[in-house]
């Protein structure tokens, strides 16, 4: 049955209901040897689906509520929101025991953005508008320490969040997500997915429609989506998409609703009212059209 609200959508992911219950103990002790404490990476490797809540609001208490509500990760939105790195640093530090793994969508694949995102404790870097191989190669380079990349070893709060052995374990735990949002990216999806260090390639439903002028369900639009998915899976990477596509075969990494959507859906469900603001499976919601 098609899920009607967030509660049901998350219930569809019963296999990931534990949602990182083991991560707290791994954070409290400095690992003696490289350890995999990124529970999103663990779950994907085990063939499970993961869902992240989208975070727009720079409030540590609200962030902690979202990060401990049952999602696998948080999708901290720094491309389209006014949130700054000092805000996000406070949020991550305040909620450093949360079960949801922090991912940040940076503005671009720049050394500065990716260095700051990883230094404040993000274990996932989401790179928008990937339509050249060079762009995602740069993102991997800046996200990984030598010998895999050129990330600088500066000071950061990563150690307070992930332990004093962070330098030895970071390359195994930091994930890189490439977003394909236009036809140019679709055309080279196989090459983007083949870049070493890329973990997930995300099919961006809204912008793919915006740049192509096509709507979900249109045969040409769906052909682009299918071509991209096949290229990603052919390269051995995980396929991401909006939570509205949770029932599409082959997808395993999903961007979920924002804090406002979660609050509206949960409040109306608690009041036994017709839920609104809840994600539904099928056609993905168009970003920018959400009720506020």
Q: With bands split at pLDDT 50, 70 and 90, how would you rate the model's confidence at 28?
A: very low
Q: Residue 155 in 3-state DSSP?
A: coil
Q: For the residues 254-278, what does the mean pLDDT come to?
A: 85
Q: For the residues 154-160, what does the mean pLDDT come to?
A: 92
Task: Specify the residue for token string 């503005």.
Answer: 107
277 Ramachandran zone, left/alpha/beta (phi>0; psi -120 to 50): left
pLDDT greater than 90 at residue 15: no
For residues 26 and 235, the model is more confident at 235
The rounded distance, in Å, linking the Cα atoms of 113 and 125 is 10
pLDDT greater than 80 at residue 65: yes
Give the pair of three-digit tokens for residue 84: 């700054």
Q: How far is CA 10 from CA 176, 256, 269, 284, in A?
A: 24, 10, 14, 16
State the pTM of this model: 0.84
Give the pair of three-digit tokens for residue 204: 């961006």
Which pLDDT value is given to residue 3? 40
What homologous superfamily does CATH list for 6-12+36-270? Phosphoenolpyruvate-binding domains (3.20.20.60)
Task: Supply the residues annotated as catalytic.
Answer: 80
The rounded distance, in Å, linking the Cα atoms of 128 and 117 is 14
Share of the chain above pLDDT 90, in %: 75
Name which of 173, 181, 193 is nearest 239 in CA terms: 193
HEC letters along 30-62: CCCCCCCCCHHHHHHHCCCCEEEEEECCCCHHH
Type and span of the H or E element at 157? none
The rounded distance, in Å, linking the Cα atoms of 151 and 148 is 9
Q: With bands split at pLDDT 50, 70 and 90, how would you rate the model's confidence at 285?
A: low
**Which residues have a Cβ under 8 Å from the Cβ of 132 and sit 6 or more positions away?**
188
For residues 212 and 279, the model is more confident at 212
HEC letters along 202-243: EECHHHHHHHHCCCCCCHHHHHHHHHHHHHHHHCCCEEEEEH
Average pLDDT, the chain: 87
Segment 33-46, tens digit of pLDDT: 458 999 999 999 99
Q: Residue 64 in 3-state DSSP?
A: helix
Name which of 5-19, 42-56, 61-75, 98-112 the model is least confident about: 5-19
């Amino acid at each position: 049955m098609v899920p009607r609200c967030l509660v049901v959508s998350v219930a569809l992911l019963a296999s990931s209901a534990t949602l990182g219950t083991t991560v707290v103990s791994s954070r409290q002790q400095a690992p003696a040897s490289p350890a995999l404490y990124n529970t999103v990476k663990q779950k994907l490797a085990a063939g499970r689906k993961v869902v992240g809540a989208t975070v727009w609001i720079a409030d540590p208490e609200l962030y902690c509520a979202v990060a401990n509500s049952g999602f696998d990760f948080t999708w901290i939105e720094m491309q389209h929101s006014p949130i700054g790195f000092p805000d996000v640093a406070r949020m991550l530090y305040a909620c450093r025991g949360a079960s949801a793994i922090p991912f940040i969508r940076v503005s671009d694949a720049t050394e500065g953005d990716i260095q700051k995102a990883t230094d404040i404790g993000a274990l996932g870097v989401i790179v928008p508008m990937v339509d050249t191989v060079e762009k995602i190669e740069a993102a991997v380079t800046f996200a990984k320490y030598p010998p895999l990349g050129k990330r600088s070893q500066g000071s950061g709060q990563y150690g307070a969040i992930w332990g004093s052995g962070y330098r030895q374990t970071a390359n195994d735990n930091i994930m890189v997500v490439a977003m394909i949002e236009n036809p140019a990216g679709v055309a080279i999806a196989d090459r983007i997915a083949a870049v070493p260090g890329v973990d997930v390639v995300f099919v961006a439903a809204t912008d793919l429609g915006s740049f192509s002028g096509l709507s979900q369900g249109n045969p040409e639009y769906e052909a682009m989506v299918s071509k991209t998915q096949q290229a990603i899976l052919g390269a051995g990477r995980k396929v991401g998409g909006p939570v509205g596509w949770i029932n599409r075969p082959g997808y395993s990494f999903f961007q979920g609703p924002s804090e406002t959507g979660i609050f509206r859906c949960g409040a109306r469900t608690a009041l036994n009212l017709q839920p609104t603001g809840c994600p539904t499976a099928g056609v993905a919601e168009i970003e920018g059209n959400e009720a506020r």
